Chains A and B, each alone.
Chain A
Amino acid sequence: MMGQGRLAAWGIGLAALVALPFVYRDPYHLHILVLILIWSFAYTSWSMMGRFGLVSLGHGGFMGIGAYVTALLWNHLGVSPWIGIPVSMVAAGALALIVGYPCFRFRITGHYFVLVTLALSGIVLQVITATRDYTGGSLGYTPNRTSGNKLLALQFDDKTTWYLIALGVWLFGIVVWHWVDRSMSRYALEAISEDEDAAAAAGVDVTAEKLKITLLSALMTALAGAIYCQYQMFITPDTVSGIAVSLQMVFAAIVGGLFVSLGPTFGAVITILLAETLRIGFGTKAVGWDNLVYGVLLVLFIIFLPKGILGSLLDRLKPQPKVPRAHEQEAVQIARPGT
């Protein structure tokens, strides 16, 4: 439960974030902040599933659908992103249900789930590349600049506007995270992640609970893709979809910490700052170095700090009286019904 002090801290932090672009106007730094916020939102969406042991490598696919459907509808049919974004989210959600339902119904978990979702992001990437007459293939795609109403086209030249939009979307992600965290579904999903059969025996509708969180996560990821597309005005299959993007989400969420609400955000801050620092420090020589550092860090983190930086820090700062969840600390034995 949120205490009075925490609420006040959140309020002050938010006020500072909203006020920032009006005080500080350096376009490069604002650009980095917008990117951090958008990717934080995407990583948060991923971790909504990831924290319950549903590791998906298909989120690159959802993000790609969000970005490409919005842009294609705008360019080919002239549909405003205000309609295009919900349509793209529905498309991603439908795909999530089509793939998710059989997966959960037939108990495809662990390695198998990861590899099925991997196939999903593979399909989306290949379809985008194969329909190059419409999507521009691997060369990328640019939504047409509008000559009319900028609000209708959701295209702004002003970084401040984008910063506020991204902040709003990010905040929405955090709120949803907390909403899930406090819902009954969280307990159901935690039970499922520990032992599906036991959870089902205790009356949890395993398939429905997993589908709900998958749908939510896919919808939010598609939104992230669409916002990214509208902000950057240039998308390629490699930057918004495919396995590399999926792995990037996993990586950032794990580095930051899966089990705390600001963990993925923290991961985004670290990864994007790292990439930018390397890019500026090394110039064009840096191509590849950022990923090299990412990869080494990912391996080290999984071996030594599986709860992520923020998660581990919070643990150290205040030893919590509550019993740790079993999937966070494997040393803890949980009592199972009937044993």
Chain B
Amino acid sequence: MQAFLDVFDIYLLEAVINGILLGGVLALLALGLNLIFGVIDVTWICYAELVMIGMYAMYFMVQYYGVSYFVAAPFTILLVAILGAALHYLVIAPLLTAPPINQLLATGGVLFVLQSFATVAFGIDFRNLGIRLPVLALGDMNFSYARLLSFLAALVGMVAVYLFMTRTFTGTAIRAISQDRQIMALMGVDTKRIYLITSALGGALAGLAACLLVLQYDVHPFVGLSFGPITFLICVLGGLGNFIGGFIAAFVFAEIISLGGLFSDLEWGYVLAFAFFIVMMFIRPAGLLARRR
């Protein structure tokens, strides 16, 4: 009996820690989406598809052209940042005054476009980077370096964004716009430019997430669907546009998925997470950290 308990605890601890590691990447994804929502007041339904394109970019650079992983990563981040800015310029900007639902649906259209573009251009095969990082054994627990690396890089990325938002003039302008859209234009801030910068920044975060996810998952055109919905739920649970709420919610979700997966299949972890989300919507409809009015 004692032996059984020991094993059980080790697995539990391992699942808890894996959950935290998963939470780092989810938090990074949620941060990008929250940034876009908080500043531009638009939900990019196609956010996970941007990540998918970034994963393909990594795959081709590393596998086909033999570029080293760490050289390819900045290019990928830049590429997805440009994609994000283009998405804003081509799709969101003409719809800025349209009803919010139309903006949401237009990015839904972009989701179709990106997914099928990947299908047409790259085929539906599963591809992976072919980099197999070693596994870190800590006592009886095993953690993959890929997850550890992702977690640390995600943390670094989030700190970088935090510093950018608080220490630079542009970052301050972005935060100001998220507080009051109309007044900032009167104060001489070029809102169009700020929106474009924010979109590029959101894209860059998606690019960073792509570089990290490609270490752990195979790339295929529909890979976005496997973590896209969960990202939206995290953002809503944390309160759309609320960075800290999104951060906490990401770890809550990751733990539910990880622990739920421990006791049964991974899908049940997701089912639990979704169910938890719906229940939480009833208890805290405006998000975990909603400001009381």
A residues adjacent to B (C-beta < 8 A): 53, 55, 99, 102-103, 106-108, 110-112, 114-116, 118-120, 122-123, 126-127, 129-130, 242-244, 247, 250-251, 254, 287-292, 294-299, 302-303, 306, 327, 330
Contacts and interface: CB of A to CB of B under 8 A. Distances in A.
Interface string B254-293: 0000000000010110110011011001100100000000
Contact of B119 (A123, A287, A302): A287
Contacts of A118: 229, 232-233
Contacts, number: 149
Q: Which applies to chain A's interface (DSSP): helix, strand, loop or mixed?
A: helix
B170 interface: no
Given A102-B281, A108-B285, A111-B43, A295 B112 contact: yes
Interface residues of B, number: 49
Contacts of A244: 225
B124 A287 contact: yes
B281 A111 contact: no
Nearest to A129: B267
B112 A294 contact: yes
A303 B112 contact: no
B85 to A, nearest CB: 16
A299 B99 contact: no
A289 to B, nearest CB: 6
B120 A288 contact: yes
A291 B285 contact: no
B179 interface: no
B101 interface: yes
A130 B268 contact: yes
15 contacts: A53-B101, A108-B285, A115-B232, A118-B229, A122-B229, A122-B230, A126-B270, A130-B268, A288-B117, A291-B119, A292-B112, A292-B120, A294-B116, A295-B110, A295-B115
Given A108-B285, A130-B265, A292 B109 contact: no
A243 B101 contact: no
Q: Which applies to chain B's interface (DSSP): helix, strand, loop or mixed?
A: helix
Interface string B197-234: 00000000000000000000000010001001110110
B109 A299 contact: yes
Contacts of A53: 99, 101
Contact of B282 (A102, A129, A251): A102
A115 B236 contact: yes
Interface in B49-108: 91, 94-95, 98-102, 104-106, 108
A291 B115 contact: yes
Contacts of A55: 101, 104-105
B272 to A, nearest CB: 10
B274 A110 contact: no
Nearest to A108: B285
Given A111-B43, A115-B233, A289 B116 contact: yes
B267 to A, nearest CB: 3
A130 B281 contact: no
Contacts of A122: 229-230, 233, 270, 274
Given A55-B104, A295-B116, A302 B109 contact: yes
B174 interface: no
Contact of A303 (B43, B95, B230): B95
Nearest to B229: A122
A302 B120 contact: no
Given A247-B112, A288-B221, A295-B111, A108 B281 contact: yes
A126 B271 contact: yes
Contact of B102 (A106, A296, A306): A306
A292 B102 contact: no
Given A106-B285, A111-B104, A298-B112, A130 B91 contact: no
A285 B208 CA distance: 32
